[in-house]
Amino acid sequence: GLPEAVTIWEVGPRDGLQNESAIVPVEAKAEFVERLVAAGLPVVEATSFVHPKWVPQLADAAELVQRLGPDGRRHPVLVPNERGLQRAIDLGCEHVAIFGSATDTFAQRNLNSSVEEQFAMFEPTVTRARSEGMDVRAYVSMCFGDPWEGDVPVEQVVAVGTRLLDLGASQLSLGDTIGVGTAGHVTALLDAFNAAGVPDDVLAVHFHDTYGQALANAGAALRHGVRTFDSSAGGLGGCPYAESATGNLATEDLVWMLHGLGVGTGVDLEALVATSVWMAEVLGRPSPSRVVAALAG
């Protein structure tokens, strides 16, 4: 049967804002994170300590974490390498995420590494983070298809994903970076991880909604046994280094489905919608979320 509750891992301030052409002022980013926390989101991924030239939208990462005060330290932040980790450690961050790729083309474009080279970058990063007592999440991108390489075999994703976990990550988030996956593929990938000894409770799913499949895919993962779902408020997001990546699954759409199924999230949908309406004004474009459109009225 379905669980009583699941965890929503909110990525709007990071995955959402990293792909907006508008540079959002740091004050508005801090307000966004605080409003998401106040709306009941249990995890709010705040920003990335990546090279500021690669993602100028998040160049203010340090300022944002400082502005959020002591509470800001518990929000996960992305770090690609030891340099990024050091920046996070200097600010007292307690939770970091590394982000690997299942394909060589995307590893090259996103990390300036091959699939093999990314492990040489992550290995000392995770070891150091763990020795500092930090929790580490790992992402794997291009799990369902790659804009340059096409289909990505399930075995290739499992091979990269299990290696990322073996480095010492506590959770693996499976990214459909360009939103091409469908529900049967989700089930097949989860089955393959389970067969490789990785149970659903170590996994999270991270769907982008390019082909309108994100919510159906989340439903398939829920019924399979996954209990952590990545989404972004208002459906913001994408990835600047992946062609044809659009927004993440909207948190509002996910919450509507989950609450309708009687699965708790702790999220106050009204407060969340108000937050997304406000952020849409900051960005100067309407939210792509259907639930936001329906409830904002």
Residue 207, interface with ligand HMG (CB under 6 A)?
no
The reply to whether 143 belongs to the active site is no
Beta bridge partners of 210: none
The single residue among 95, 163, 185, 206 that binds ligand HMG, judged by CB under 6 A, is 206
Question: How many Cα atoms sit within 13 Å of 100 on the Cβ side?
Answer: 33
Burial class, 263, CB count within 10 angstroms (exposed 0-12 / middle 13-18 / buried 19+): middle
**Residue 70: partners with Cβ closer than 8 Å, 6 or more residues away:** none
The single residue among 10, 14, 15, 280 that binds Mg ion, judged by CB under 5 A, is 15
Stretch that binds ligand HMG, among 64-72, 110-118, 160-168, 286-294 (CB under 6 A): 110-118
Residue 112, interface with ligand HMG (CB under 6 A)?
yes
Residue 115, interface with ligand HMG (CB under 6 A)?
no
The single residue among 71, 83, 92, 285 that binds ligand HMG, judged by CB under 6 A, is 83
Q: Residue 81 binds what, of ligand HMG, Mg ion, none (CB under 5 to 8 Å, by partner type)?
A: ligand HMG
Stretch that binds Mg ion, among 13-21, 65-73, 210-218, 277-285 (CB under 5 A): 13-21
Is 89 or 122 the residue whose CB approaches Mg ion more closely?
122
Measuring CA to CA, which residue among 173, 170, 152 is closest to residue 14? 173
CA angle 249, 290, 147 (to 5 degrees): 40
Contact present, 102 and 115 (Cβ < 8 Å)? yes
Beta bridge partners of 229: 8, 205
Q: Write the binding mask 40 to 79 for ligand HMG: x where contact by CB under 6 A, - elsewhere.
A: --------xxxx--xx------------------------
Length of the chain (residues): 297
Tokens of 149: 């390489």
Residues contributing to the site for Mg ion (CB under 5 A): 15
